[in-house]
């Protein structure tokens, strides 16, 4: 490998060979001086030269030792990185990731940077030559993962000269875990779980968020992760959560004390949506001419409308009037609520447009395990699927694993929501109850003003004809 191997990946043998090639002249000089006559000046110069050489060699090995792997994991990363660097050229040409140089006739392959490790993920900067596009690297991502022994490969970036190929050799999300909740709120995000590198993953608060996943994919972990993650601002009155649970209350009723408003039947659910629209529009009128962005306070809290099984409101409702009202209210909230501190966090199983007409108004989406590639594209978009977001390939044994498409244009991120137990819900709900609960009142039907129907007239009798005399 010689000097083509990145410094932090060299072994002791590499370092010694480089040392010999760079400092051979010093050894020859020492030997020549040692054969000269024993003149005091020459001896003094010889002694100083030896000491200087020893000092230089000592400094060299001190610096080198700091770069040497200190554990089996470091040695494994070094070996994998050397294998990637040494086989990149042949692998690229075998997979068709090369173009022909019209001047020399030889192949030009993508250039790579030295591997950078973050846990069990290796990141390579990739610069594609002219003639190759980002889609070519995407198309060969799976084969690159196989060639380098990785579990999966993800391509990030948009410019062909500054792409990043991430090779994942382990899965930090393989085993379930429990977050230590509640976590101090920063006013902008809510900690939900871990990302693929094992770092804390948080959802940005403010965007309308849609969570889609098949039955048993782990939607409850996201619902309760959001609620328990907001426990402190809920208790302080800075955030209000208006909960809608169309499973008859089976999900949200356990932590109902965290909710300012709660509805579990069809009529009350629609009322909550419509009254949220009224409160949102009133706040917009109050803020008009004063500010363009709401700031949460006790007098004007951020309001989250949390909906479990949204399709029961937007598609499966049998009453056509309630169905129309629910879709109209939801579309109004999702299109106007963000600036005035009203947001929607909704979960559903079926992501089709027929199920959720306002799907395009949700700017932050989370895809749990889905049934097929088409559903993944419905939730995250074709671009996210091409970038490696494959919700349809998530194992049923890894509930809570998902791909998140943020609303700020970043590529999709593979994450896993923390496991939430019933005991955690009961404990946090009892300690961080919302300061007020507002009941949902179904209005009485208006009194009828119609006159009571008149009694039917008695049938008119026809007089009998007198018998002929």
> Across residues 79-98, what is the average pLDDT?
91
> If you average pLDDT over residues 151-164, what whole number do you get?
83
CATH architecture type of domain 73-168: 2-Layer Sandwich (3.30)
DSSP summary character for residue 304: E
Summarised one tens digit per residue, pLDDT across range 346-364 is 999 988 888 888 888 998 9
Mean pLDDT computed over 371-375? 92
Cα of 50 vs its chain's centroid, Å:
59
Q: Which two tokens stand for residue 253?
A: 């009723």
Per-residue model confidence as pLDDT tens digits over 231-252: 999 999 999 999 999 888 889 9
Average pLDDT, the chain: 84
Calculate the dihedral angle through the C-alpha atoms of 292, 296, 298, 300, rounding to the nearest 10 degrees. 30
pLDDT at res. 75: 84
Hey, is 9 helix, strand or coil? Answer: helix
* pLDDT of amino acid 27: 64
Task: Decide if pLDDT at 83 tops 50.
Answer: yes
User: Looking up tokens 């955030």, which residue turns up?
Assistant: 239
Q: With contact defined as beta carbons under 8 Å apart, do 407 and 364 qualify?
A: yes
- Neighbour-count burial of 50, counting CB atoms closer than 10 A to its CB (0-12 exposed, 13-18 middle, 19+ buried): middle
Most confident range (mean pLDDT) of 90-94, 155-159, 271-275, 452-456 is 271-275
Q: How far apart are CA 358 and CA 361, in angstroms?
A: 6
Q: Mind listing the pLDDT tens digit for each residue in 29-77?
A: 666 666 556 656 555 666 676 667 667 666 766 565 555 445 577 888 8
Q: Which residue has the higher pLDDT, 456 or 137?
A: 137
Fold (CATH) for 189-431? Rossmann fold (3.40.50)
Reported as type and span, the H/E element at residue 268 is helix 266-287
| H helix runs in 35-133, sequence order | 40-67, 72-94
Q: What is the pLDDT of residues 256-303, one digit of tens each?
A: 999 999 999 999 999 999 999 999 999 999 999 888 888 899 999 999
User: Are 440 and 272 contacting, i.e. CB atoms less than 8 angstroms apart?
Assistant: yes
Q: What's the CA gap between 105 and 101, in Å, rounded?
A: 5
């Amino acid at each position: 490998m010689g000097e083509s191997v990145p410094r932090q990946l060299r072994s002791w043998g590499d370092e010694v060979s480089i040392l010999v090639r760079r400092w051979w002249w010093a050894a020859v000089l020492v030997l020549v001086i040692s054969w000269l006559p024993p003149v005091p000046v020459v001896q003094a110069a010889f002694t100083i030269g030896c000491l200087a050489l020893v000092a230089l060699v000592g400094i060299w090995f001190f610096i080198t030792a700091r770069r040497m792997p200190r554990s089996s994991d470091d040695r494994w990363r070094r070996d994998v990185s050397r294998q990637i660097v040494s086989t990149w050229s042949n692998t690229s040409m075998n997979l068709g990731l090369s173009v022909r140089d019209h001047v020399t006739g030889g192949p030009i392959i993508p250039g790579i940077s030295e591997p950078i490790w973050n846990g069990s993920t290796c990141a390579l900067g990739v610069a594609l030559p002219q003639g190759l596009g980002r889609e070519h690297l995407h198309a060969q991502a799976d084969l690159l993962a196989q060639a380098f022994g990785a579990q999966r490969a993800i391509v990030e970036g948009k410019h062909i000269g500054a792409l990043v190929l991430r090779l994942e050799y382990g899965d930090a999300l393989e085993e379930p875990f429990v977050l230590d909740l509640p976590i101090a709120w920063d006013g902008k995000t809510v900690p939900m779980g871990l990302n693929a590198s094992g770092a804390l993953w948080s959802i940005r608060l403010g965007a309308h968020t849609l969570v889609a996943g098949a039955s048993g994919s782990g939607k409850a972990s996201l619902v309760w992760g959001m609620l328990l993650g907001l426990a402190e601002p809920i208790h302080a009155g800075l955030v209000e959560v208006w909960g809608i649970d169309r499973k008859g209350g089976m999900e949200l009723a356990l932590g109902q004390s965290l909710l300012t408003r709660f509805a579990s039947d069809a009529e009350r659910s629609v009322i909550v949506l419509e009254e949220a629209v009224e409160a949102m529009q009133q706040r917009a009128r109050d803020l008009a001419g004063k500010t363009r962005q709401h700031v949460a306070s006790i007098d004007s809290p951020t309001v989250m409308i949390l909906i479990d099984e949204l399709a029961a409101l937007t598609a499966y409702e049998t009453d056509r009037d309630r169905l129309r009202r629910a879709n109209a209210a939801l579309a109004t909230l999702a299109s106007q609520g963000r600036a005035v501190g009203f947001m929607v966090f909704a979960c559903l199983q079926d992501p089709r447009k027929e199920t959720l007409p306002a799907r395009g108004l949700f700017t932050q989406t989370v895809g749990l395990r889905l049934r097929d590639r088409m559903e993944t594209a419905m939730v995250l978009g074709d671009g996210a699927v091409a970038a490696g977001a494959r919700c349809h390939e998530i194992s049923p044994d890894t509930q809570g694993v998902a791909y998140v498409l943020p609303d700020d244009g970043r590529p999709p991120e593979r994450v896993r929501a923390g496991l939430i137990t019933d005991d955690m819900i009961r404990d946090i709900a009892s300690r961080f109850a919302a300061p007020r609960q507002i009941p949902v009142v179904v209005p009485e039907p208006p009194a009828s003003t119609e006159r009571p129907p008149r009694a039917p007239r008695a049938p008119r009798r026809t007089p009998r004809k007198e018998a002929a005399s």
